[in-house]
Each structure stands twice: as structure tokens, then as C-alpha cells.
Structure 1
Amino acid sequence: MSRQGLLTGLLALAVMGSAIAVVEVKHQSRSLFLTLESLRDSRDELNTAWSRLRLEQGALAMHSRVERIARDSIGLRQPAPERTTMLRLDVGEARP
């Protein structure tokens, strides 16, 4: 084999190796893009669920709802005024 034939063979192998590497990198790029899009979809779904949960929490924590449940379900009542003691704290007193 001549030196030029050997060089041509090596260059052909280098070109084929480079082509295979390009195909592999393109495949990885597409796979990563699909993964990225899937993760973005998941993020959007989670953000939507988070918004719904915050709205639901706001509705469930409304003072009127909590008071109604305490009164109707648990039987809690506001104490009578004679059973209520007011404590006053003088601003000038030192706290322990």
C-alpha cells in the first residue's frame, strides 16, 4: 500500500468517525430537548395545581367558615361577657 493510499484510508476513517459523532450528538440533543419539554409541561401542571391549592386554602381558611365549623361541628360558643376577663398591660411596665 502506498503512503497516499494509507493517508486516504485514515482520512476516510476520520470522516466516518466524525459523521457518526455528529449523528450521536444530534440524537442526544433531540433526546434532551424532549426531556426539557416534558419537564416544562410538568412544571406548568405543578404551577397550575399550586395556584388551585392556594385558592382552596384561602377558601378553607376564611374566618366565617372556620367560625361556622367551630360552632356547628364542634359546638364551640363565644363565652358570655360575665365569664370573660380583660387583662390590661400598662405600656410603662417592664416585661419579665
Structure 2
Amino acid sequence: MSRQWVWLVTLGALVLSSAVAVVSVKHQSRGLFVKLETLRDERDALNTEWSRLRLEQGALATNARVERLAREALGLRQPDATTLVLLEPDSTAGERP
């Protein structure tokens, strides 16, 4: 009869350790799921901010805004037609000596 008790205690210990392992793995799984959801929320927030920044960059880089800032902040102006100098490309520029 003592041999049956040894088997019974051994099986009970195995069942108990298996149950503890299942609970531990389930707890880790839930923790990883929470972390995954947090990272997904962060990804969505970053994608939203990226889209907003691209729109803002597009608005700031319009030709009319750049020209206005050049005139107002930097004092730049369109050159007069009399001060323009046109350069003609040299016809021998592409040839090697």
C-alpha cells in the first residue's frame, strides 16, 4: 500500500506543478497582451501625429508663404529687368579637351 501512496503523492505533485505552470503562463500572456495594446495605442498616436506634421509641413512650405516671408522678414525683392544678366551655356562645355 505504501507504493500506491508514493504514486499518488507523485501524481499529485505533478498535477499541482502543472497547474502552477498554467497559471504562470496565463499571467504572462495577459501581461504581454496589455503591453501589446499599449504599444498599438502608441503606434496609432504616433501615426496621427505624423499625419498632422506632414500637413503642417505642407502648409508651411507653400510658395506663397515662402515668398511672403522672403519679402517681409528678409527684405528680398524681385530684381529689375535691367539688372538681370542671362548666361548662355557654352557650346563646348560638354566636350573634353
Length-normalised TM-score, structure 2: 0.91
What is the rounded CA distance, in whole Å, between the counterparts of 1:11 and 1:92 in structure 2? Answer: 95
Give the equivalent residue in structure 2 for 1:45. Answer: 45
What is the rounded CA distance, in whole Å, between the counterparts of 2:76 and 2:34 in structure 1? Answer: 56
Give the equivalent residue in structure 2 for 1:3. Answer: 3
Q: State the 1:95 CA deviation.
A: 6.0
Cα distance per residue 1:19-62 (max 9 Å; x no partner): 00000000000000000000000000000000000000000000
Q: Tell me whether 80-89 or 68-77 shows the greater mean CA deviation.
A: 80-89
One-letter identity of the residue aligned with 1:84:
L
Unpaired segments of 5 or more residues in structure 2? Answer: none
Computed over aligned residues only, the root mean square deviation of the Cα atoms, in angstroms, reads 1.7
Unpaired segments of 5 or more residues in structure 1? Answer: none
Q: State the 1:92 CA deviation.
A: 7.0
One-letter identity of the residue aligned with 2:30:
R
Number of equivalenced pairs: 96
Give the equivalent residue in structure 2 for 1:31. Answer: 31
1:51 aligned counterpart, secondary structure = helix
Go from structure 1 to structure 2 and tell me whether the alpha carbon gap of 1:46 and 1:28 turns closer, same or farther (over 3 Å shift). same
Which structure dedicates a bigger proportion of its chain to helix? Answer: 1
2:44 aligned counterpart, secondary structure = helix
Go from structure 1 to structure 2 and tell me whether the alpha carbon gap of 1:76 and 1:2 turns closer, same or farther (over 3 Å shift). same
Cα distance per residue 1:9-28 (max 9 Å; x no partner): 01100000000000000000
Q: In the TM superposition, what are the counterparts of 1:4-19 in structure 2 within 5 Å?
A: 4-19=4-19
What is the rounded CA distance, in whole Å, between the counterparts of 2:93 and 2:3 in structure 1? Answer: 102
Give the equivalent residue in structure 2 for 1:77. Answer: 77
What is the rounded CA distance, in whole Å, between the counterparts of 2:6 and 2:70 in structure 1? Answer: 91
